Structure 1
Amino acid sequence: MKIKDRITGLKRIKAADLRPHPQNWRIHTQAQREALQGLLCEVGYADALIARQLPDKSYQLLDGHLRAETTPHTRVPVLVVDLDDAEAAKLLASLDSLASMAGSDPAQLDALLAGLKTDSAALSAMWEGMTSKVAEAIAPAEFKEIDETLETAYCCPKCGYRWSGSPGGAGDSDGDA
C-alpha cells in the first residue's frame, strides 16, 4: 500500500482567521466546550488543528473547529494539508468517525484516570462519564452467552429475512398471519 504524505507544513495561525468548513457535521455541547477550556487552561495546546489553503490564500479548517472557536485570539498550531474538495470532504467525514470506532480497556482507563488531578469541574465530569460509558458497554459476568449460529426455520420470499418461531409472528398458534 502506497500512502501519500499530504502535509505541506506546520504554521501558527490566529484561530479567528481559520475558516470553518461549511460541511462540518460535528455539534459541540456546552459540556464539551467547558471540558476543552479546562484542558487548554491546565495543559495548553498539544495537538495541531488541520486546515487546507484555499485558492484565495485563506485557510479552511478540516479538524479542530471547537479548538479554534474556543481560542479565537490565539495563534494556534495548524498542520496544512494539500487536499482537493473531495479529499477534504473525506477527511472531514472520517477523522472523528475513525476515532469513535476504537474500543476501550476499562482496567487501563481506570488506571489512567486514577492518577489524574484537575481543578476543572468540567474535566472531572468528563472523566467520570468516560468510566460509566465503558462500564455500560461491558456485559456483566453472569450475562448468558447466546449461540449466534441458530438455525432458522422461515425465510421471507420477498426480502430474504430469516427467523425462527411461527411464520405469522408472536402469538400466532396456527401459523396464520
Structure 2
Amino acid sequence: MNIQDRVKELRRVPASELKPNPRNWRTHPVAQRDALRGVLADVGFADAVVARELADGTLELIDGHLRAETMQDAAVPVLVVDLDDQEATKVLLTHDALATMVGVDQENLATLLDEAQFESEAVESMFAGMKPDNAPLLADAERPEIDVPESYQVVVECQGEEEQELLFNRLRGEGFRCRVMTL
C-alpha cells in the first residue's frame, strides 16, 4: 500500500482568517462548546486544525471548525494539507466518523478518569456519566440485544482503487445500493 504524506506545513494563523468549509456536516451543541472552552483553558492547544490552501491563497478548514470559531482572532496551529476538492471531501466526511468507531478499554478509562482533574465544570460533566461509581459503562456481555434486520451483502476484493471505482459505478448504475470500503 502506497501511503502519501499530504501535510505540506504547519502554520500558526489567526483563527478568524480560516474559511469554514461550506459542506461541514458536523454540528456542535452547547455542552461540547463549553467543554472545549474548558479544555482550552485547562490545557491549551495540543492539536492542530486541518485546512487546505485554495487557489486564492485562503485556507479552508477540513477539521477544527469549532476550535477555530472558539479562538476567534487568536493564532491557532494549522496543518496545511495538499488535497484537491474530492480528497478534501473524503477527509471532511471521514475524519470525525473514524473517531466514533473506537473501542473502550474500561480499566484504562477508569484510571484516567480518576487521575485527571479539570477546572471546568463543563469538562467534568462531560465525563461524569462515564465514571464507574456513577454509571458504569456496559461490558460487551451486558449490552442489550437488538434486532438487526436481515441484510444480504457481497464483499468483492478488487485489484486496486481504479477497479474498485469502476465496479462501484457499474453496480450503482444497475441500481444496487453500494458502499466503498478500503481495508
Letter in 1 for 2:94: S
Tell me the TM-score normalised to structure 2 length.
0.74
1:13 corresponding residue in structure 2 = 13
CA 1:134–1:68: 2 relative to 1, 3 Å:
farther
The structure having more radius of gyration, on CA atoms, is 1
Instruction: List 4+ stretches of structure 1 deviating above 2 A.
Output: 129-134, 136-140
Q: C-alpha separation between the residues in 2 aligned to 1:126 and 1:48?
A: 22
2:35 corresponding residue in structure 1 = 35
Measure how far apart 1:19 and its partner are: 0.5
Sequence identity percentage = 48
Preserved CA contact (<8 Å) 1:106 1:134: no
Secondary structure, counterpart of 1:135 in structure 2:
coil
**Structure 1 segment 62-73 matched on structure 2, within 5 A:** 62-73=62-73
Listed one character per residue, the Cα deviations across residues 93-143 of structure 1 (whole Å, up to 9, x for unaligned) are 001010100111111100111011122100000111344787146443xx8
CA 1:133–1:115: 2 relative to 1, 3 Å:
same
Q: Which moved more, 1:103-112 or 1:84-93?
A: 103-112
Question: Is 1:135 matched with 2:133?
Answer: no
Tell me the TM-score normalised to structure 1 length.
0.76
Secondary structure, counterpart of 1:77 in structure 2:
strand
Measure how far apart 1:61 and its partner are: 0.2
**Structure 1 segment 116-127 matched on structure 2, within 5 A:** 116-127=116-127
Listed one character per residue, the Cα deviations across residues 29-54 of structure 1 (whole Å, up to 9, x for unaligned) are 10000000000001000100000000
2:81 corresponding residue in structure 1 = 81
CA 1:83–1:122: 2 relative to 1, 3 Å:
same
Preserved CA contact (<8 Å) 1:16 1:73: yes
2:4 corresponding residue in structure 1 = 4
Letter in 2 for 1:95: H
| C-alpha RMSD of the superposition | 2.4
Q: C-alpha separation between the residues in 2 aligned to 1:133 and 1:4?
A: 43
CA 1:144–1:20: 2 relative to 1, 3 Å:
closer
- Structure 1: give runs of 5+ residues left out of the alignment: 146-158, 161-177
Preserved CA contact (<8 Å) 1:6 1:82: yes
Secondary structure, counterpart of 2:137 in structure 1:
helix
